[in-house]
Amino acid sequence: MKSQIFLIAKKELKGVIRQSSLKILFTIIIILLGFAVYGGHIAYKHQITMVETAQEERRAEWLDQGNKHPHIAAHYGTFVFKQKTLLSLFDFGLDTYTGTSVYLEAHYPHEFMFRPVQGYGNMIRFGELSAALVLQLLLPLLIIFITFQTFTKERETGTFKLLVSQGVSIRTIYLGKVLAYFIIISIIIVPFFTALYFVGINETTNSVIRDMELRIVLLFLVYIGYLWTFTNFSVWISLKSSNSRSALLTLLIFWVVTGIIIPKTSANLGETLHPLPSMKIYKEGIQHDIANGMAINESKEKRLVKLKENYLQKYNVDSIHKLPLNFSGIEMQEGEEYANKVYDFHEKKLHKKFELQNKTESLMSFVAPYIAIRNLSMAFTATDWHSFNDFQRKTKTYRRHLIRTMNNDMAKNSRHGEFYEYKAGKNLWETISDFKYKTLFVTKVLKYYRIELASLTFWFLAMLLLIPSSFKSKMI
Amino acid sequence: MKLILLLWQREGISIIRNIFQMILLISIVFLGIYAIYYGYSTITKQQKTIENVQTIEKNEFKNYINSFSNKRTSVKEKQLFNIASDPAYAWYRHEYHAVLNPHSLAHMSLGQRDIEPYYRKLTAASLYYQLFENELANPLKLYIGNFDLSFVLIYLFPLLIIVFTYGLYAEEKENGMLPLLRLQTVGLRKILLIRISFYYLLIVGLGILLSSIGFFIAPKTENLTIFLWIATILCYFSFWFALMFFLVSLKKNSSLTAISAAGLWLLFLIVLPAILNVYANIAYPIDNMSLADITRRKSLENEEDLDEAKAVIEEYLHHRDDLKGAKALIDVNTMSKAYAAFTALNDNHHKKEVVDYFNQIELRQKWISLFQWANPAVNTQSILNEITETDAVIFQAFHQSITNFHKEITHFYFDKLFLNKQIKNKDYENLPKFNLTVDYISKIQNIKGGLIEIIIISFFLFGLSLVLFNKTIFLKALKK
C-alpha cells in the first residue's frame, strides 16, 4: 500500500509539473515571498537604526542634563522607543498599528505615541505584503488551484473507476494525492524556514528575542500544520464534489469567507459588543479618581492630611519642618503611587475590554483556521498585542522606578521649603540604567493563545478523520 | 426587445432555482446591512464623543463668564476668576477643542476615521506637545480594519460579479448548449451581452439598494454627494463586468475562467496594494522617532533666573513686531511671559522637523497616487473616502487648520499677556474659533479624475473584449 501511495504521489506530481499555469503561480508565490522578506528586512534595518539613534540621543540627553533638582529632571523625563524584533521581518503583525514611542515624565503616564500607520495614507487599509501574508492567504489559494480538480478530473475522464477497479483503495489514492501536494508546498516552506532559522540564530544586531530558535521552530510547526490542513481539506472537497467547477467554487468561497469575511466581521462584532471609551472620557475617569479617590475618604486633600499625620507620628515631631526628610518629596512620591494605583485599575479594565474584543475573533478560529494561524504567527514573532502589552508594561515599570528614584533622592537630600537650592548631578542620573527590552519567553506567551492552539489542533484532527477509510473505499 | 426580456426572464428563473446563488445574494444583503449598521454605530459613537467634548468646553467657558459676576468670596471662586481674567493663567488653562465633524455619509465609508484623531484638545501651550496624542484603540482591530459598506461594495461585490458571470460562455459549451445557441439568428455575442446586462442590472440594483439604506439613515445629504457615490459604484462595477466580459471572451473553460477571475480579484484587492505599501515603505520611510523629542514638556534651563527669563522674552518679541509696545513691560509678570515666550519659541524651533515629517508623508502619498489609476479598486476606495470626507487628505487639512487655530489662540492670550491687559467679560464674545479649511475644488476634481480613470479602463477592456470575441469566432471559421 505504501508503494502505491508513492506511485500515485509521483504521478500526481508529474501532472502538476506539466501544467504551465501552475508553474507560473508557483513562481509568483516564491517571488512574492522573496519580495516580502526583502521589504521586511529593509524596514527592520531601517527601524533598528532609527530606534538606536533616537534611544542613544535621549540617553545622552538624560545623562548630560547637568545639575538640577531631581524633581525637575523627573518632570521633563525621557523617552523609550519600541524596538522592532528580527522576526518582524517575517510577520509585521501589529507593529504598524501600535505606537512607537512613549514619553516618561513625572505625574503623568503617557500613552504610546505615533502609530506608523498615521503616516501611511488611505492605501494602508489594503494591508502590507509580509511573508506571513503569503503563507497564510496566498499559499492556500495556490493549494486550491492545484488541488480542486484532483478527484473531479479523474472522475470526469473515467480514470477514477479504472484505478479503483485495479484494486487501489480510495484511501491510497487520497493519501497519495495529499502527499504529492504537500511535497509541493514543502518545496516552498522548508527551505524558507530553514533560511529564516539560520538568519535568526546568526543575527546579532538585535538581542530583543532570547528564544529565537524555539520561536522559529514553533512558527514552522504551526505553518506546516495549517498548510497540511488546507491541502487535506481541498483534496477532500475535490473528492466530494460532483464536478471541478463546484469543487473550485466551494473552495474559493471557503477561502473568502474564512480568510476575509469572518476575520473582519468578527473583529468588528467584538468591537460592537465591547465598545471602548474615548480617550477623553477614559482620562477624565482617571483624573477624577486621582483627585477624589477610589474609595470614600480618599480624596487628594484627605490623603495628604493622613500622610502628614503618619509621618509626624512616625518621627515623633509636631511639624513637617522638623522631619529628617523633605516632606515634599514624600508627598510627590505618594501622589505618584496613588496615581499608579488608579492607572493600573483603569488600565486593567480597558485591557479586559481589548481581550474580550479579541476573544470574539479568536473563538471564530474554530470556523476560520486563518484566524488561528494569523494570531499564532504574530505571537511567535512577538508582534502581537500581548507582546506589545508586555513592552508597555515594562516601560511603565521603568518609568515608575525612574520617578521614585528622583523623588526619594529629593526627600532624602533636600530640606523642606527648599527647591531650587538643591541640585543633583550625573551620579544620580547614572543610577537609572538604560532601558533594555527583552521579549517574553514564547512559552509564557502560549497561555494567551489556548483558543488558537485548540482550534488548529481541532482542524488538524478533523482532517485526519476526513481521510477515507480503507474499508469504505473497497465498496466503490 | 422581446428577446432581451425573454433572456432576462430565463436568467431570473435560473437564479431563483439555484439555491447556492440565492444564498449568496441574501448573504451579501445581510452583510451589507450589518456593514451599514457597524459604520453607523462607529460614527454615532464618534459623534457622542464630540458632543461630550464640546459640552465640557462650553461649560468651562460658561463658568469663566459667570465668574465675572460672582461675588468671589470663596477661594475657589477667586481662583476661577483669576483663570478667567488673568492671561498669565488663562493661556495654558483655557482648553479649546478642534473637531473634525463626520460627513453625513461617513458611516458608509469610514476610511481613516479610526486611525486618525478626529478631535484635539488645545491650549496656547506648545502645539507639538499637544498634537500627537492618539485615540484609544485596539491595535488588532485597527489592523483588521472596518467592515463598512465601502468594504462590501469594493471587496465582496466583485466576487458576486465573478460567480454570476464566469460561466456565461464556458458553461453553455460544457453543457452542450452552444451548438443550439449558434443555430439562432441572433449573434452569440449579442446573447452574451444581454445576459451580462441582466447581471449588471441585478448587481448594480443591489448596490444602489444597499447604498440607499445608507443614504436614508444619513441626517442630511446633498444630492451631489449621492450622485457621486452612485456614479462611483456604477463605474467600479462596470470595470468588473468589463473585466469578466474580457475573461469570458477568451473562451477558456469555466474552471480556468474562474481561476483567472479569482486571481485578478486577488491581484487588485490584495497583492498589488500590499506590494505597493511595502515598496512605499522602502522608498519613503517615515521617521516619526525624530518627532518624539518635540512632544516633550520643556522649560527654561534655570527656572528661577530672571535674566534668562528676560532673554527668552526678548527673543520672542523679536519675532513679534506687533507687540512692540510690550518691550517696556517685560518686568510685569515676567515668569509667566517667559514661559509663554518659551513655548512659542519651542514650536518655532521645531517647525522644520514637523514640516519635514509631513512633507515626507505627502511625498509618499503622491508617489503612491501615481499608481492609483492602474488599480480601480484602490481608486474606488479613495474616491469613496473622498466623497465621505474620511480620506487622508481631509486629515491633513484638519491638521493644517489646527495649526492655524493654535496660532489664533496663542495670539488671543499672548497679546493680552504681553500688553498687560486683563481678559474682560466682553472678550468672551470674540474667542478664537476653529475653522476647517478644505479645498473643495480640488476634492471634486480628484473625484472626477478618479472616475474618469476607471471609466477609461472599463471602456478599454470592453472594447478589447468585443474585438476578441469576434476574432476567436473569426479564427475558428477560418480553421474550418
Specify which of A316-325, A329-338, B300-309 reaches the highest per-range mean pLDDT. A329-338
State whether residue A43 sits within 8 Å of chain B by CB.
Answer: yes
How does pLDDT run across A270-329, given as a tens digit for each residue?
888 888 888 888 888 888 888 887 777 778 788 888 888 887 788 788 877 777 777 777
B120 has which bridge partners?
A: B98
Residues of B within 8 A of A119 (CB-CB) are 286, 288, 357, 360-361, 364
Grid coordinates given for A30: 516564491
- Check: CB of residue A78 under 8 Å from CB of residue A88: no
- Check: CB of residue B423 under 8 Å from CB of residue B87: yes
State whether residue A219 sits within 8 Å of chain B by CB.
Answer: no
Disruptive mutation site among B144, B252, B373 for chain A (greatest number of A CBs within 10 Å): B144
State whether residue A435 sits within 8 Å of chain B by CB.
Answer: no
CB count within 10 Å of CB A433 equals 9
Question: d(Cα A458, Cα A473) in Å, to the nearest integer?
Answer: 25
Nearest to B87 by CA among B429, B414, B431, B427: B414
Grid coordinates given for A100: 512607537
Give the DSSP letter string of A83-127: PPPGGGGT--TTTTTS--EEEE-SS-BPPPB--GGGGS-GGGGG-
CB contact under 8 A, B365 and A121: yes
Predicted-complex ipTM score: 0.89
State whether residue A428 sits within 8 Å of chain B by CB.
Answer: no
- What is the pLDDT, as a whole number, of residue B476? 61
Give the DSSP letter string of A238-299: HHH-SSHHHHHHHHHHHHHIIIIIHHHHHHHHHHHHSPPPPHHHHHHHHHHHHHH-SSTT--
- Which residues fall within 8 angstroms of residue B368, CB to CB, at 6 or more apart? A121, A123, B276, B280
Nearest to B244 by CA among B228, B227, B268: B268
CB contact under 8 A, A128 and B139: no
How does pLDDT run across A137-186, given as a tens digit for each residue?
989 988 888 888 888 887 878 777 777 777 778 888 888 888 888 888 89
CB contact under 8 A, A248 and B256: no
Q: What are phi and psi of B119, to 5 degrees?
A: -150, 155
Give the residue from chain A lying closest to B381, CA to CA.
A122
The Cα-based distances of B140 to A97, A98, B46 in angstroms read 8, 9, 19
Give the DSSP letter string of B212-240: HHHHHHSS---HHHHHHHHHHHHHHHHHH
Question: d(Cα B68, Cα B469) in Å, to the nearest integer?
Answer: 82
How does pLDDT run across B197-227, given as a tens digit for each residue?
899 999 999 999 999 999 999 888 888 899 9
- What is the pLDDT, as a whole number, of residue A476? 47
CB contact under 8 A, B378 and A126: yes
Give the residue from chain B lying closest to A42, CA to CA.
B282
> How confident is the model over A456-472, as a mean pLDDT?
83
How large is the C-alpha radius of gyration of chain B? 31
Disruptive mutation site among A46, A51, A124 for chain B (greatest number of B CBs within 10 Å): A124
The Cα-based distances of B219 to B13, B32, B50, B98, B215 in angstroms read 39, 19, 16, 22, 8
DSSP state for residue B324 in the 8-state scheme: G
Nearest to A129 by CA among A43, A10, A51: A43
> CA angle at residue B137 from B136 to B139, to 5 degrees?
140
> How confident is the model over B216-244, as a mean pLDDT?
91
Instruction: Please give the residue that has the higher pLDDT: either A325 or B104.
Output: B104
In the block, which residue shows the cell 458632543?
A: B51
Residues of A within 8 A of B173 (CB-CB) are none
| DSSP H or E run through B384 | helix B376-387
- What is the pLDDT, as a whole number, of residue A229? 92
Q: What are phi and psi of A286, to 5 degrees?
A: -65, -50
The Cα-based distances of B291 to A43, A264, B137, B287, B339 in angstroms read 19, 33, 21, 8, 22
Global pTM value: 0.88
Nearest to B255 by CA among A99, A403, A144: A144
pLDDT band at residue A475 using 50, 70 and 90 as cut-offs: very low
- Check: CB of residue B81 under 8 Å from CB of residue B72: yes
Asked if the model's pLDDT at residue B21 lies above 70, the reply is yes
Which of B271, B288, B364 is nearest residue A100 as measured by Cβ atoms?
B288
In the block, which residue shows the cell 529628617?
A: A324
- Check: CB of residue A375 under 8 Å from CB of residue A384: yes
- Check: CB of residue B380 under 8 Å from CB of residue B232: yes
| DSSP H or E run through B34 | helix B19-69
pLDDT band at residue A472 using 50, 70 and 90 as cut-offs: low
Of A14-28, A84-98, B424-438, minimum mean pLDDT range = A14-28
Which of B135, B151, B266 is nearest residue A278 as measured by Cβ atoms?
B135
- Check: CB of residue B172 under 8 Å from CB of residue B181: yes
Q: How far is B139 from chain A (nearest CA, A)?
A: 5
Grid coordinates given for B236: 467600479
The Cα-based distances of A127 to A96, A220, A469 in angstroms read 10, 23, 42
Q: What are phi and psi of B122, to 5 degrees?
A: -135, 135
Question: d(Cα A367, Cα A369) in Å, to the nearest integer?
Answer: 6
- Which residues fall within 8 angstroms of residue B118, CB to CB, at 6 or more apart? B46, B50, B99, B100, B102, B135, B398
Number of residues written out for chain A:
476
Q: How crowded is the C-beta side of A432, counted as CA atoms within 13 Å?
A: 28
DSSP state for residue A414 in the 8-state scheme: S
Mean residue pLDDT across chain A: 85
Question: d(Cα A236, Cα A246) in Å, to the nearest integer?
Answer: 13
Question: d(Cα B357, Cα B284) in Å, to the nearest integer?
Answer: 11
Question: d(Cα B473, Cα B480) in Å, to the nearest integer?
Answer: 11
CB contact under 8 A, B287 and A98: no
- What is the pLDDT, as a whole number, of residue B106? 92
- Check: CB of residue A398 under 8 Å from CB of residue A302: no
- What is the pLDDT, as a whole number, of residue B181? 64
How does pLDDT run across B155-210, given as a tens digit for each residue?
999 988 998 888 877 777 777 766 766 666 667 778 888 888 899 999 999 999 99
- Check: CB of residue A96 under 8 Å from CB of residue B319: no
Q: Read off the amino acid at residue B467.
A: V
- What is the pLDDT, as a whole number, of residue B352? 87
